[in-house]
Amino acid sequence: MSNKENALLWRATTLSDRWLILLSALLIGSLAVYLFRRPAGEEVIVERHNEIVLRLPLSRNQVVKVQGALGEVAVQVQEGRVRLLEYASPRMIGTRSGWISRAGAMVACVPCDILLRVTGENGAQTSTNGLDAISR
């Protein structure tokens, strides 16, 4: 008897079992792919005072300086994501926003009057907590 045939996995499972293991794994995988497929944004729109001042493709890594209401703000694109980098906002000197990459995502520095928005489906947003707005 070869060692392989004595192995626990082989002993403990029938042919149906093994098919089941494989098929269920595939099913879960495809479910995950289906649920998480989101159109990746193609470019980011930079707005100053609600007017588009810049459009950058997310495919090219770069850092662009934009004039904000309180001084210069750096917009950094890297590996399909974008963020606000090193902006001197009164309450946060030299800080940066988080990365955004999904279509429709946006990030803003309100005092700088700068808004970054990734293009793409401007409609449905899946928020995991299912809230439409937050009162604060």
Other CB atoms within 10 Å distance of the CB of residue 75: 21
Among 49, 67, 71, 102, binds another protein (CB under 8 A): 49
**What are the structure tokens assigned to 6, written together?**
């004595």
Among 31, 67, 73, 97, binds another protein (CB under 8 A): 31
- Measured CA to CA in angstroms, residue 27 lies from 31, 39, 48, 93, 136 at distances of 6, 22, 46, 49, 42
Enumerate residues 6+ apart whose C-beta is below 8 A from 39: 103, 120, 121
The answer to whether residue 122 forms part of the interface with another protein (CB under 8 A) is yes
Whether residue 50 contacts residue 63, with contact meaning beta carbons closer than 8 Å, is answered with no
At closest approach, how far in Å is the CB of 52 from another protein? Answer: 12
Enumerate residues 6+ apart whose C-beta is below 8 A from 50: 115
Q: Which residue has the tokens 């269920």?
A: 24
Q: Which stretch binds another protein (CB under 8 A): 35-43, 52-60, 76-84?
A: 35-43
The answer to whether residue 123 forms part of the interface with another protein (CB under 8 A) is yes
The answer to whether residue 64 forms part of the interface with another protein (CB under 8 A) is no
**How many residues bind to another protein according to rule CB under 8 A?**
51
The answer to whether residue 8 forms part of the interface with another protein (CB under 8 A) is yes
Question: Which positions touch another protein (CB under 8 A)?
Answer: 8-9, 11-17, 20-21, 24-25, 28-29, 31-32, 34-37, 47, 49-50, 70, 90-91, 104, 106, 108, 110-111, 113-115, 117, 122-136
